[in-house]
């Protein structure tokens, strides 16, 4: 039947050019940048590789936590900041009770989960009231929650919330110290098994942490093939049609945010067990920014993201992070330039992605009108 041939043509031209371009061009540009930066930084290859692997292990989980809201059509969830806060609350909890080692870390995970579920639920409620403006709303919500978080730990810690362990509170007895030492759980996950290839003495690979990330990727793939995953995809594509088909749109969206928030909480715990100290009032602030930038650099867009893009993006973004100060130093004789440059890259790539997305979706709307 010849109509089938026509249909095939339709199938082929289905992918819109803009999306395709962003998917490929952005990673290619950043691969190029990384290559140039690496060349000028004059850093040894093994050193860079080692650093990148460490950062890949500790950051990917957070980046991947962004994917599900994208699938559910809610864009980039800057609200993962709240998830990071849940993770930090759990870490402060175990630090207070001096829980250590892998057991302590698991308890932190257990404690963070219900907190993150509550946070995620609240974020979901707010975002359902701001449909179509989820990204800016989740971002402002992150700032707002940050204020509340500071209020709690500056004013209530030591007064309303009792603290057991000495040295956690400020000398006045009110308010948490600026940094919390996480020595007890430091490398609890990373150190289970570290692979050190004989050929490269400088290389250490935190195998278990990477396995956890791999497991998350597998679970995510599995999840998209479940009933709930399918519902999220449907809601993400068209809320109205999903509603008519009997899917509870608001509930599905809340579920997506909850999952994202819980994953972010776990991701922040993994991140901080590697860092080893918790900057009480600062560790979470940039989580949303850096995770979103990483995802986008991997070629994801506001409406489409996969774990492969998350991993590639994390790799490239952190590569840039490692090499840019040295590259700046060597090219411009100023390491600050490199530092400013990578912050600019983070903001710029998000701005660009949002711009392209808004541009495209407007184009789509117009073409619908004229059809």
Please, which of residues 303-332 interact with other proteins by CB under 8 A?
332
Q: Which is nearer to other proteins, 104 or 229 (CB)?
A: 229
Task: Spell out the residues 6+ positions from residue 236 whose beta carbon is closer than 8 angstroms to its own.
Answer: 70, 71, 72, 73, 74, 303
As measured in angstroms, the least distance from the Cβ of 61 to other proteins is: 19
Q: 248: left (phi > 0), else alpha (psi -120 to 50), else beta?
A: beta
Is residue 347 involved in binding other proteins (CB under 8 A)?
A: yes
DSSP secondary-structure letter at 153? I
Give the ranges where 333-371 is alpha helix by DSSP (H): 335-370
At 277, is the secondary structure helix, strand, or coil?
Answer: strand
Interactions with other proteins, residue window 166-185 (CB under 8 A): 172, 174-175
At 278, is the secondary structure helix, strand, or coil?
Answer: strand
Q: How far apart are CA 301 and CA 352, in angstroms?
A: 10
Is residue 208 involved in binding other proteins (CB under 8 A)?
A: no
Is residue 334 involved in binding other proteins (CB under 8 A)?
A: yes
As measured in angstroms, the least distance from the Cβ of 257 to other proteins is: 14
Find the binder of other proteins among 146, 277, 286, 330 (CB under 8 A).
146
Find the binder of other proteins among 135, 182, 262, 300 (CB under 8 A).
135
Q: Which is nearer to other proteins, 153 or 205 (CB)?
A: 153
Q: How far apart are CA 180 and CA 142, in angstroms?
A: 22
Is residue 341 involved in binding other proteins (CB under 8 A)?
A: yes
As measured in angstroms, the least distance from the Cβ of 186 to other proteins is: 28
Is residue 21 involved in binding other proteins (CB under 8 A)?
A: no
Number of residues that bind other proteins (CB under 8 A): 73
The answer to whether 327 touches 338, Cβ cutoff 8 Å, is yes
Interior CA angle at 110 toward 289 and 191, to 5°? Answer: 75
Interactions with other proteins, residue window 254-283 (CB under 8 A): none
Q: Which is nearer to other proteins, 182 or 263 (CB)?
A: 263
As measured in angstroms, the least distance from the Cβ of 97 to other proteins is: 25
Interactions with other proteins, residue window 75-134 (CB under 8 A): 126, 129-133
Interactions with other proteins, residue window 26-55 (CB under 8 A): none
Is residue 194 involved in binding other proteins (CB under 8 A)?
A: no
Q: Which is nearer to other proteins, 274 or 324 (CB)?
A: 324
Q: What is the DSSP string of 58-118?
A: HHHHHHHTTHHHHHTT----TTHHHHHHHHHHHHHHHHHTT--HHHHHHHHHHHHHHHHHH
How remote is the C-alpha of 57 from its chain's centroid? 13
Q: How far apart are CA 11 and CA 14, in angstroms?
A: 5
As measured in angstroms, the least distance from the Cβ of 240 to other proteins is: 8
Q: Which is nearer to other proteins, 1 or 199 (CB)?
A: 1
Interactions with other proteins, residue window 217-246 (CB under 8 A): 222, 225-228, 230-231, 233-234, 237-238, 241-242, 244-246
DSSP secondary-structure letter at 191? G
Which of 89, 67, 28, 99 shows the shortest CA–CA distance to 316?
A: 28
Is residue 151 involved in binding other proteins (CB under 8 A)?
A: yes
Q: Which is nearer to other proteins, 118 or 140 (CB)?
A: 140
The answer to whether 257 touches 280, Cβ cutoff 8 Å, is no
Is residue 300 involved in binding other proteins (CB under 8 A)?
A: no
As measured in angstroms, the least distance from the Cβ of 187 to other proteins is: 30
As measured in angstroms, the least distance from the Cβ of 347 to other proteins is: 4
């Amino acid at each position: 039947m010849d109509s089938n041939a026509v249909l095939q043509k339709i199938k082929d031209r289905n992918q819109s050019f803009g999306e395709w371009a962003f998917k490929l061009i952005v990673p290619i540009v950043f691969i190029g940048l990384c290559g140039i930066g690496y060349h000028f930084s004059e850093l040894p290859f093994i050193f860079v590789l080692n650093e990148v692997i460490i950062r890949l292990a500790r950051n990917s989980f957070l980046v991947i936590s962004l994917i599900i809201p994208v699938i559910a059509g809610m864009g980039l969830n800057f609200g993962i900041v709240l998830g990071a806060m849940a993770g930090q609350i759990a870490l402060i909890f175990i630090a207070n009770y001096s829980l250590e080692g892998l057991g302590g870390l698991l308890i932190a995970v257990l404690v963070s989960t219900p907190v993150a579920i509550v946070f995620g639920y609240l974020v979901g409620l707010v975002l359902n009231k701001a449909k179509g403006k989820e990204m800016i709303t989740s971002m402002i919500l992150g700032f707002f929650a940050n204020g509340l978080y500071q209020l709690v730990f500056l004013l209530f810690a030591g007064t309303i919330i009792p603290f057991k362990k000495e040295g956690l509170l400020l000398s006045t007895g009110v308010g948490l110290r600026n940094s919390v030492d996480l020595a007890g759980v430091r490398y609890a996950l990373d150190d289970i098994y570290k692979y050190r290839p004989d050929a490269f003495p400088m290389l250490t690979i935190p195998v278990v942490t990477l396995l956890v990330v791999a497991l998350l990727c597998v679970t995510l793939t599995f999840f998209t093939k479940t009933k709930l995953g399918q519902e999220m995809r449907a809601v993400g594509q068209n809320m109205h049609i999903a509603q008519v088909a009997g899917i509870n749109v608001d509930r599905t969206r809340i579920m997506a945010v909850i999952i994202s928030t819980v994953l972010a909480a776990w991701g922040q715990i993994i991140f901080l067990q590697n860092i080893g100290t918790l900057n009480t009032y600062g560790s979470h602030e940039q989580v949303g920014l850096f995770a979103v930038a990483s995802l986008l650099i991997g070629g994801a867009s506001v409406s489409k993201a996969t774990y492969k893009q998350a991993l590639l993006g994390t790799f490239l973004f952190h590569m840039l992070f490692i090499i840019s100060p040295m590259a700046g130093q060597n090219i411009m004789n100023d390491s600050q330039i490199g530092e400013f440059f990578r912050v600019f890259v983070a903001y710029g790539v998000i701005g660009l992605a949002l711009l392209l997305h808004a541009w495209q979706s407007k184009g789509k709307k117009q073409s619908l009108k004229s059809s």
